[in-house]
Structure 1
Amino acid sequence: MTIAEILHQAKAELTTRGLDLNIAEILIETRLDLTRSDLWMSTDRELGPSEQAQFDADFARYINGEPVQYILEVAPFYGRNFYVTPSVLIPRPETEELVYAAEKFIEKKPNRVRRVLDVCTGSGIIPITLKATFPELAVTGSDISVPALEVAEKNSKQLQTDVHFIHSDLVEYFQQNGEKFDMILANPPYIADDERAEMSAYVLNHEPELALFAPNDGLAIYEKLIENLPDIVDNSFWIGMEIGYTQGEAVKQLFEKSFPQATTTVQQDINGKDRMVICVYERI
């Protein structure tokens, strides 16, 4: 079959099922290493038997409910492609806004930031992106999940960034070793258990629960993490955390308790929803 014939058949099935009509193109162009324009210039090309078999297997997995990012083991984030497996969350666009906020602070105060830590790093998208942009920084990522750290290490190697990854329950390792940072980021698990009913089956059936859910209405990890952060921050610091859109005030209060001397603000994402809490203290 030609690419055009495959796309025609696939789109008919995707339409019937109410699924993303771009999936067939994404599967073919990724597996054949084509750009979108290359794909459309190659629609008369016939796939070989192994290529056809690969597409059929990939398409069946998607139809059966598996996210395309896990099928292809790749997901875009901040202009780079990251290796992903079911051991890590699929990167979300909202997290790009947290990275952007950190970048803007570093650009504005380049002499204030030297050591950066990303807690609950998962696939390593946050520390790798910052290290790629600011190679002079010492950047560390930590996670409690060993399989997630293996994914992060692979991403760091593939993207040629020298990020240091540590196995740690939140910041316990750094407390024990007396390490301090002047920039800390985190996108911890923050979904409450009672929100499961509102979530997509694609997420619930495939993405790691350890990285999604937290007790106490999704606030438990914030509570433990923010309580311990004073032990590992430098004299001046910038801390940024992604939050669920209903958690802004609660997380802000946690920061104000741990850092009464700092300025803490809730910031909204591009859709106008509370998405980040930023805590900043600059010692004069």
Structure 2
Amino acid sequence: MPVVRTLLSQLSRAIGRQSALSELRWMQQALSNPPPGISPACRSLDEMVARRVRGEPLQYILGSQPFGPLDLAVRPPVLIPRPETEDWTLRLADSLTPSPATPFRTLDLCTGTGCIPLLLCHLWPPGSTHATAIDISPDAIQLATENAARCGISTHAHAHASTHPENTFTPILADLMHLDFANQALLEPPYDLITSNPPYIPQAEYDVLPASVKDHEDIRALLGDTPSPLASGMPSQDRAKGLTFYHRIAALVGEHGLLRAGGTLALEVGQGQAREVAAIVQAKAGVDKIDVWKDPWGKERVVVARR
């Protein structure tokens, strides 16, 4: 078809022919057979290609992103779930064994689309976890709520009192860096599992990110050097390394008793940050066993601590 060939040519000039062939096929599939409950953000192939040529992420154009067996809705400005996050969430799900008899209380900080706790809720047996998900962005909380509905996971906080056990997901709008965060977020410690993929990109690295990221995804979900009164107590060198949120999370765990004895803390980290984050967690969170997991590309990606 001449029109498709023209669009392929336009897309190839922007992203290369091999990528263009794959993406054009995915765009056609999204228009002809969209995932249940998800409508592409565009009504025509021409519009999709035009937006992609301008640098918009493909996931926003398609309206969805696979995450394990889930197909999550995505839209700007909420952070798009990444494959490395999917990888460690699946590994975490396999390494822990909650059950309806011994359910986990899970807390996910900086939840975005809700991808981490929703995947855990999906993979673990019904009634084995009750997840609370926190984010500063109303857009993220709204999208996470929609994704829970898409995944068939209850957002009713007290659904576990039902005679039919089920996993639950409770999204809460709150600012992790707020001085009174624990009360603002209605936290009810201790938790059996705390997870987070927090903002961790240093300012110097953020400044050189491609426009496809900076122009579309929320800076609050990316930049780890967020100015905050709480940052004044951190080493000055750490405030330029994207480590602000790790200091905050570790302090909350240590000072507020967020993690029960025997509980697990899992934090995604950026390139070259794992050892420093492990040291922060060890010093402030009161944990005594720390592991570093690598992602499928060989990068140290997750700090896993157990009390």
Cα distance change, pair 209–259 in 1 and its aligned pair in 2 (3 A):
closer
**Offset of 1:152 from its aligned partner?**
0.3
Q: Which digits, 9 at most, give the CA deviation of each residue in 1:159-182, with x for residues without a partner?
A: 111211111222524776543211
Identify the residue that residue 167 of structure 1 maps to in structure 2.
173
Correspondence list, 1:192-207, <5 A = 192-207=202-217
CA separation in 1, counterparts of 2:136 and 2:262? 27
Q: Separation in 2 of the partners of 1:167 and 1:34?
A: 30
Match of 2:161 in 1: none
Residue 156 of structure 1: aligned partner? 148
Query: Secondary structure, in 3 states, of the residue corresponding to 2:79?
Result: coil
1:274 alignment counterpart: 300
| Structure 1 position 237 matched with structure 2 position 263 | yes
Structure 2 residue ranges without an equivalent (≥5): 36-41, 155-168, 226-238
Residues 1:86 and 2:72 aligned together: no
Distance 2:68 2:3 in 1: 31
d(CA) in 1 for partners of 2:211, 2:296: 25
| Alignment-derived partner of residue 231 in structure 2 | none
Q: Is contact 1:7-1:25 (8 Å) kept?
A: no
Cα distance in 1 for partners of 2:285, 2:135 equals 24
1:213 to 197, 220, 223: 223
Which consecutive residues of structure 1, in runs of 5 or more, have no partner in the other structure? 36-51
Q: Give deviations 1:5-28, integer Å, cap 9, x for gaps.
A: 443222222223344312211111
Q: Which of 48, 58, 75 is the aligned partner of 2:65?
A: 75
Q: CA RMSD in A?
A: 2.2
**Which of 256, 259, 262 matches 2:288?**
262
Question: What is the letter of the counterpart of residue 209 of structure 1?
Answer: I
- Residue 227 of structure 1 deviates from its aligned partner by 0.6
TM-score by length of 1: 0.85
Q: Which has the higher helix share?
A: 1
Q: Is the 8 A contact 2:72 2:147 kept in 1?
A: yes
| Corresponding residue SS for 2:96 | helix
Structure 1 195/29 Cα, relative in aligned 2: closer, same or farther at 3 Å? same
Paired with 1:72 and 1:61, the residues of 2 have a C-alpha distance of 11
Seq. identity, %: 28
TM-score normalized by the length of structure 2: 0.79
- Call closer, same or farther: CA 1:175–1:79 in 2, change over 3 Å: closer
1:58 aligns with 2:64: no
